[in-house]
Amino acid sequence: MLLLQSMKTFLLLILTVTALFIWQRNGKPAATETKATRELPAATSSPARPISDHNWAKHSLDRARKVADEARNSREQNDPP
C-alpha cells in the first residue's frame, strides 16, 4: 500500500512539473520582437575592464561581452536605415 501511495505522489509531482513547464513555455513572447524592445538601455554599455589572465571567470565574461558588442555593432551596420 505504501508503494502505491508513493507512486501516486511521484506521478503527481511529474505531471505538475510537466504542466508548469508547458505553461511557462507557451507563455513566452514570440521571437519576432520589434527593434524598440530589443534595444538595451545605455546604462549597460559601460567601458570594459582590462582582461585578467589569472581570473578565468572574469576573462570568460569579458570575452562574452566583447563578442556580444561585436555582434550588436555588426547588426547595427547591416540594418537598413
pTM above 0.85, yes or no: no
Residue 78 pLDDT > 70, yes or no?
A: yes
pLDDT tens-place string over residues 2-59: 788 999 999 999 999 999 999 998 876 655 555 555 555 544 555 666 656 677 788 8
Exposure string of 37-64, with b = 16+ CB inside 10 Å and e = fewer, is: eeeeeeeeeeeeeeeeeeeeeeeeebee
